[in-house]
Amino acid sequence: MKNKTVLITGASSGIGWETAKIFSNSGAKVILCGRRKNKLLDLQKEISNPSHILVFDVRNRKNVVKEIQSIPNQFSKIDILINNAGNAHGLDNSTEASLDDWDLMIDTNLKGLMYVTKAVLPLMISRGEGHIINVGSIAGKEVYPKGNVYCASKFGVNAFNTGLRIDLNKTGIKVGIINPGKVKTEFSNVRFKGDSPRAEKVYEGLKVLSAEDVANTIFYMANVPDHVNISDLEILPSSEANTYVFNRKL
């Protein structure tokens, strides 16, 4: 990854954090994006290769463009875009769920990912090369009870991923998606709005994926030869058969 530049959204935590570390350790220059600047500064202290921080909310279309355009020359040749920022908000039946939660998920997971892609694309198109790796979810492949709009957002990411791959076929830019099952990160804590006991229950009796497991797989996707594109990769913990069948050791 020497001489490669990688932009990672959602680098302030979980999968994005570990992905930034693995790419940086392999010699890449990394652009670390997120809203929590303090976390990005902490991450920057953990990595030794050159890195650049961008603080923006992916939902804010104007700021996305402004921040991507502000990238200094040293970092502007983006080889790999990892669209990872996203979260679930709530786990409620559609009859009870809050529209604010629904807006948050569509605006962040789907529209935010689209905004970042659209802002970075010209930097790849002009060079006729690049690789976009989208972080989807098994929730973008199957719907589970109360998953409604989180699943819808990730189904949307899956569709957008395929659409992009079709549209960019003649540009030299590769597009692929990774769809993980359960990963232990801040994800459940965010979904349950800081209710840590409820978040912990999700993983009770289960050995789930670590953020590092997913980061290693993203790194693998980025390191296959140019003529190979891992277009769609699902990764589950061995304890998970699908979104509702688990081998819990309680």
Residue 69 CB neighbours (<10 A): 11
Collapsed DSSP state (helix, strand, coil) of residue 44:
helix
Query: Minimum CB separation from ligand 8X3 for residue 151, in Å?
Result: 7
Query: Minimum CB separation from ligand NDP for residue 3, in Å?
Result: 26
Catalytic residue among 115, 144, 150, 220: 150
Number of residues that bind ligand 8X3 (CB under 6 A): 6
Between 9 and 148, name the residue whose CB sits nearer to ligand NDP.
9
Does the protein bind ligand NDP through residue 135 (CB under 6 A)? Answer: yes
Specify whether 150 is catalytic.
Answer: yes
Cα–Cα dist 213/164, whole Å: 26
With the CA atoms of 142, 147, 152 and 158 taken in that order, what torsion angle do they form, in degrees rounded to the nearest 10?
-40
Cα–Cα dist 159/243, whole Å: 19
Q: Which single residue brings its beta carbon nearest to ligand 8X3?
A: 137
Between 138 and 175, name the residue whose CB sits nearer to ligand 8X3.
138
Q: Residue 243 binds which entry of ligand 8X3, ligand NDP, none, with Cβ cut-offs from 5 to 8 Å by kind?
A: ligand 8X3
Residue span 60-89 as binding mask against ligand NDP, x where in contact by CB under 6 A, dash where not: ------------------------xxxx--
Residues in contact with 15: Cβ distance below 8 Å, sequence separation at least 6, in sequence order: 84, 135, 180, 183, 185, 211, 214, 215, 218
Q: Residue 108 binds which entry of ligand NDP, ligand 8X3, none, with Cβ cut-offs from 5 to 8 Å by kind?
A: ligand NDP
Cα–Cα dist 63/30, whole Å: 20
Question: Phi and psi of 246, rounded to 5°?
Answer: -130, 145
Q: Which of 182, 192, 208, 239 binds ligand 8X3 (CB under 6 A)?
A: 182
Does the protein bind ligand 8X3 through residue 85 (CB under 6 A)? Answer: no
Query: Minimum CB separation from ligand NDP for residue 44, in Å?
Result: 14
Q: Which of 5, 51, 108, 239 binds ligand NDP (CB under 6 A)?
A: 108
Among 9, 1, 69, residue whose Cα is nearest residue 29:
1
DSSP-derived pairing of the beta strands 183-184 and 240-242: unpaired
Question: Phi and psi of 176, rounded to 5°?
Answer: -150, 165
Does the protein bind ligand NDP through residue 58 (CB under 6 A)? Answer: yes
Task: Name the burial class of residue 4, with classes exposed (0-12), middle (13-18) and buried (19+) by CB atoms within 10 angstroms of its CB.
Answer: middle
Q: Which of 139, 149, 157, 214 binds ligand 8X3 (CB under 6 A)?
A: 139
Residues of the shown chain interacting with ligand 8X3 in the complex, contacts defined by CB under 6 A? 137-139, 147, 182, 243
Residues of the shown chain interacting with ligand NDP in the complex, contacts defined by CB under 6 A? 9-10, 12-16, 34-36, 39, 57-59, 84-87, 108-109, 112, 135, 137, 180, 182-183, 185-187, 190, 211
